[in-house]
Amino acid sequence: MSALHTGTGQAPASCQRRYDVLVVGAGPAGMAAARAAAGSGCSVALIDDNPAPG
């Protein structure tokens, strides 16, 4: 569970941001997708349920 979890289903207002791309999963494919999107100039959010990527 994330340290940002508030129990309301939403992140605290101070953590709400907009991204061009959301990548779900920080495995090899997710990391590659996030890197490619960031390399194209997009703002990227990468989320995963595991605390360590890879």
- For 17, phi then psi, to 5°, come to -140, 165
For the chain, which residues make up each domain, given as ranges?
17-53
Note the pLDDT of residue 32.
Answer: 97
Is residue 46 within 8 A of residue 26, CB to CB? The reply is yes
Say whether pTM exceeds 0.85: no
Note the pLDDT of residue 50.
Answer: 85
1-50 pLDDT, tens per residue? 344 445 566 666 777 889 999 999 999 999 999 999 999 999 999 999 98
Retrieve residue 28's tokens: 């090899």
Retrieve residue 20's tokens: 């061009």
Note the pLDDT of residue 15.
Answer: 72
Q: Cα dihedral angle (21, 24, 28, 34), rounded to 10 degrees? A: 10
Note the pLDDT of residue 54.
Answer: 74
Note the pLDDT of residue 53.
Answer: 72
